[in-house]
Amino acid sequence: MTFATLQDSLDMTREMPWEKRDVPTTVYEMLEGTATRFPDRPAISYQLTSGPEDKAETLNWRELHEKVCQTANLFRDLGIGEDDVVALVLPNSNETAIATLGGMVAGIVNPINPLLEAEQIAAILRETKAKVVVTLRNFPKTDIAQKTAEAVKHAPGVRTILTIDLNRYLSPPKSWIVPLLRPKMDVNHHADVKGFNKEIASQPKSLTFEDRKVDRVAAYFHTGGTTGMPKVAQHKNSGIIYQGWLGHELLFSEEDSVMCPLPLFHVFACHVILIAMVKSGAHVVFPTPAGYRGDGVFDNFWKLCERWKTSFIITVPTAVSALMQRPVDADLSTVKNAFSGSAPMPLELFNRFTESTGIEVYEGYGLTEATVLVSINPIDGEKKVGSVGIQFPYTDVKIITDKGEGPAECDIDEIGEICVAGPGIWPGNTYTEEAKNKDLYHFDSYLRTGDLGRKDPDGYIWITGRAKDLIIRGGHNIDPAEIEDALLSHKDVAFAGAIGQPDAHAGEVPCAYVELVEGGTVTPEALMEHATKQIHERAAFPKHVEVLDELPKTAVGKVFKPDLRKSAITRVYNGALGDAGVSARVTSVIDDKKRGLVAQVELNGASEEDVAKTLSSFTRPWDVA
C-alpha cells in the first residue's frame, strides 16, 4: 500500500481505530507471524568489526524466533513477570536485539545508553525497579561491564546480571588474545552473575508461558539521562506495534535489506527499525557495537552497503555529513532510499548527498514520548526538503499556542508548539514519574513535544526550534534556529548550536558553537561577521562564536545543548571572576533537579563574599564546590 493510498483510506475511515485493521496485539504475536511466513529469510546480521569482508553472523527468522523464546523463558525463570523490568546496558549485537525482544515478550524491557556514567545508569535502574540487567562481559577497549557493576551496587532491586561475551564474534588470532587483555573486574555487588548465551541455551525454543493478548507496557526508554535524574517514557504494546505497522505498510517489505548503524538503546533503531523488521520480515544489518561511531564504519560504509545488498539506509544528518567527506567507492545499485531522523537536514547537505550518491533521502520526525514516529516526507508523494513531512495515518498533529485565553490551535504557517495525538501517545502516563506528566498535554490528549513549528497549507510540518531552547534576551524571545541557519550557510560549517549565555544585564545573550567540515579554516571572527550579515534581527546577533573540534551530540546525532550551556556558564562566570580580580574559578556545572544548571565554584583562597558580589548579577545559581 502506498502512502497516498493509505492516507486516502484514512480520510474515509477517520473514526476507525487503527487497531481494528489486521494487526497483532503483542510483540510476540507479530514475531511469530513473521517467523511462520518467512522462516528461512535473513532477519538480522551483525559484524563486530567494520571490514567489508570481516566475520559476520546472520540469523534467519526461525532462528531469531527461537532465541527470543528462549530468552523470554529465561527472564520468566528469573522472576520477570508482565510488570517487571529487564534493563539492557549494551552496545549493538545480535544478543542485544534478542534480549530487547525477549524482554518485551516476558515483561518490560528498559534499554539504557551504555555511554552514561555509572551514577546515571544506577538512577535509571532505581527508577524502573529493574530486577535483571543484561550487559557485556568485561572486554578490551570498553568499560561497560565495570560501569554496570558499579551501578548495580546502587540499585538494590537488581537480582541477576546476565553477561554477553563479544569475543565469540572474533576469529583467531584475535579471539585468542582477548582473554589475555580482558580488564580486571572488581565485582562487589549483591547480584548473581551468569552468562547470557549459556543460560538461554538450556531453555525451550518455544514459549513456556501464555502470551496474553493485552495492551500492557512492554518497554521503558529514558530521555536524556545525563543529569542523574532521567525521565523514563512508557511504551505500550499498541504503540510499539503501531511503529512496526507503519514500517511495513509504508517503508519495508521482506525483500529489503536495511543498513542501521544506530544504537538499539535508542527508539529510532529499536522501534522504527527493529520492530518494523519484525512486522515486515525485512533484513537488518548492525555493523559494529558502536554503529556509526565504530572504528572504520564511515571509511567502509559504502562497501558494507555493497556487501549486504542494502536497499534502505538508516541515518542522521551528522552521519550524512561525515559520509560526504568520503568517496563513494562501491556499487550502490541496490540502494533505493535513505531514511534520516533526529534533526532536520540542512538543504545544502541534502543536495550534496543526493547528487553524490543518487540516493533519495526521506526525512522523518518523532520523539521518545510519542513511541517515536510522528511524520515523514512521503516516499511516493511530494517531498519538501527541510520539512519533516506530513503526519502519519492515525496520528494527529496540531500547532498550539497561547493566544491570551489559553491554548488555541495556530493558523496556517503560524509558529507554535508541535503537539501530537495518536496510537503511541498515552495521556497522563507518558513518564513513570507522575510529577513529570504535569502540564504535558493540551486538550487532554495532545502531547506537548517542546518543539516549535508550523504547518504549511499542504499540511507539511516545519520544525523551527525548541520551545525551551528559546534565548530570552531582556524579555525578548530569540529562536536559536535563526542563528544556527545563518552559521550553517557558511561553506566551512558542518554543524552549529546556538544557546543563551549568561549576561549580567540582559539575563542572557546569544552565543554559538560550531563544528567545521573537514579542512574548514574559517575563524570565529569571520563567522561572527558572516552571521550578522545573515541574521535580520539585531538582538539575535551572537555575542560569542566558538569553534570546537566536535560538537557534543546525542546517540542519534543531535547537537547536545546542555553541554554547550555548561561550557558557556563556565566561560562567562570565569571571565567575570577574572575581570574582578577574584581567584575563584568554576570547575564544573551540574544539573540540579530543582534549580537547573548550577555552577560549582572552587574558592582558591577567595572569599564567598567576593564570589557572591561578582556573580550576583547573573541568574544562574552557584555553589562552593
pLDDT per residue over 463-504, tens digit each?
Answer: 887 777 788 887 677 889 889 999 999 999 999 999 999 988
Position 419 scores a pLDDT of 97
Cα 115 from chain centroid? 13
Give, in order, the Cα–Cα distances in Å from 423 to each of 109, 248, 461: 19, 16, 19
- Cβ of 40: how many Cβ atoms within 10 Å? 8
- The angle at the Cα of 430, spanning 425 to 432, to the nearest 5 degrees, equals 150
pLDDT, position 226: 36
Residue 449: closest CA among 390, 500, 400:
400
Predicted local confidence at residue 466, as pLDDT: 73
pLDDT at 313 over 90: yes
Mean pLDDT for 418-442 is 93
Q: Which residue has the higher pLDDT, 625 or 2?
A: 625
Give residue 253's pLDDT: 96
Average pLDDT, the chain: 91
Q: How confident is the model at residue 225 (pLDDT cuts 50, 70, 90)?
A: very low
The pLDDT value given to residue 11:
43
In angstroms, the CA 611 to CA 586 distance is: 10
Q: Looking at the predicted structure, is the pLDDT value of residue 357 above 70?
A: yes
Predicted local distance difference test score (pLDDT) of residue 343: 74
In this structure, what are the phi and psi dihedrals at residue 372, rounded to the nearest 5 degrees? 90, -110
Least confident of 31-35, 462-466, 567-571: 462-466
Higher pLDDT, 183 or 221: 221
Asked if residue 9 has pLDDT above 70, the reply is: no
Q: Which residues in 55-201 belong to E strands, given as ranges?
A: 57-60, 85-89, 108-112, 132-136, 160-164, 192-195
Residue 21 has pLDDT above 70, yes or no: no
Structure confidence at residue 1 (pLDDT) = 41
Whether 624 shows a pLDDT value over 90: the answer reads yes
The pLDDT value given to residue 469: 77
Res. 247: pLDDT tops 60: yes
What pLDDT score was predicted for residue 17?
57
pLDDT of residue 579: 97
Look at the block and give the residue holding cell 551530540.
553
The pLDDT assigned to 103 comes to 98
Express as a percent the part of the chain with pLDDT over 90: 76
Judged against a pLDDT cut of 70, whether residue 113 lies above it is answered with yes
- pLDDT band for position 229 (50/70/90)? low
Q: Tell me what pLDDT residue 15 has.
A: 46
pLDDT tens track for 515-535: 999 999 999 999 999 999 998
pLDDT value of residue 474 = 72
pLDDT digits (tens, 9 = 90+) for 78-106: 999 999 999 999 999 999 999 999 999 99
- Predicted pLDDT of residue 227: 38
Confidence of residue 138 (pLDDT cuts 50, 70, 90): very high
With bands split at pLDDT 50, 70 and 90, how would you rate the model's confidence at 228? very low
pLDDT of residue 292: 94
The DSSP call for residue 503 is E
Q: Is the pLDDT of residue 14 over 50?
A: no
Residues 6+ apart with CB under 8 A from 135: 88, 89, 90, 114, 144, 145, 148, 161, 162, 163, 164
Per-residue confidence (pLDDT) for residue 40, from 0 to 100: 98
Question: pLDDT of 267-293, one tens digit each?
Answer: 999 999 999 999 999 999 999 999 999
- Which residues have C-beta within 8 Å of that of residue 10, sequence separation ≥ 6? 393, 394
Among 73, 94, 102, 34, which Cα is nearest to 206's? 73
Q: Give the model's pLDDT for residue 563.
A: 93
Contacts of 335 (CB under 8 A, 6+ apart): 305, 310, 311, 312, 313, 357, 359
What's the gap between Cα 469 and its chain centre?
A: 18
| 210 confidence band (pLDDT: 50, 70, 90) | very high
Run of H or E residues at 478: strand 476-478
- Before 91, cis peptide (omega within 30)? no
pLDDT for position 477:
74
Identify the band that residue 460 occupies on the pLDDT scale cut at 50, 70 and 90: very high
Q: Give percent of the chain with pLDDT exceeding 70.
A: 95
Per-residue pLDDT for 6 more than 50?
Answer: no
